[in-house]
Amino acid sequence: MSAVLETVPSRFRAMSYADLATVMAIERRAYPFPWTETIFRDCIRVGYRCRLLEIHSRLESYAVMSIGAGESHLLNLCVRPESQRHGLARWMLEHLLELAGANAVKSMFLEVRPSNDRAIELYHTMGFCEIGLRKGYYPAARGREDAVVMAKEL
């Protein structure tokens, strides 16, 4: 985490239904194929770790992670578009790895678009390794896009 981030008023907290309007506004701006509000509602309802990062009381990043049977699966990690490239995704990922470790998780998995070079670079620098490919996993402008499957042992 950068020294600048350590000095700003910030906090991680659980996502609630009351946060969904803001989450959805960010999600729609960040992704060409955003999750729906129903997906987020279901994730909160079933007890996935839905986490927010607030800086100066403004929602800057959110993530959704499932945990079960000694494994975690990072399902969504997003940073407000105008706040990207400042280390917030790394900070959120560090938080999720700590949370996973505190819940006796031994491995974390995720999928990422092969076209998302910045995310792949982040995951590599955080110790994730490519372990597979899911064909046609993501919707795309023309058909479907594959997903790179990555994993990290904790």
Residue boundaries of the structural domains of the chain: 3-111
Locate tokens 């959704």: which residue? 64
Using the 8-state DSSP alphabet, how is residue 35 labeled? P
CATH of domain 3-111: 3.40.630.30
Residue-wise pLDDT tens digits, 5-45:
555 679 999 999 999 999 999 999 999 999 999 999 999 99
Q: Taking a C-beta distance cutoff of 8 angstroms, is the pair 80, 36 a contact?
A: no
Tell me which of 37, 54, 71, 111 is the catalytic residue. 111
User: Is residue 4 over pLDDT 50?
Assistant: no
Using the 8-state DSSP alphabet, how is residue 113 labeled? -
Q: Is 111 a catalytic residue?
A: yes
Confidence at 3, pLDDT banded by 50, 70, 90 = very low
Whole-prediction pTM: 0.93
78-81 long-range contacts, CB within 8 A, separation 24+: 78/26, 78/27, 78/30, 78/31, 79/30, 80/26, 80/29, 80/30, 81/26, 81/29, 81/30
Tell me which of 123, 130, 137, 138 is the catalytic residue. 123
Q: Is 123 a catalytic residue?
A: yes
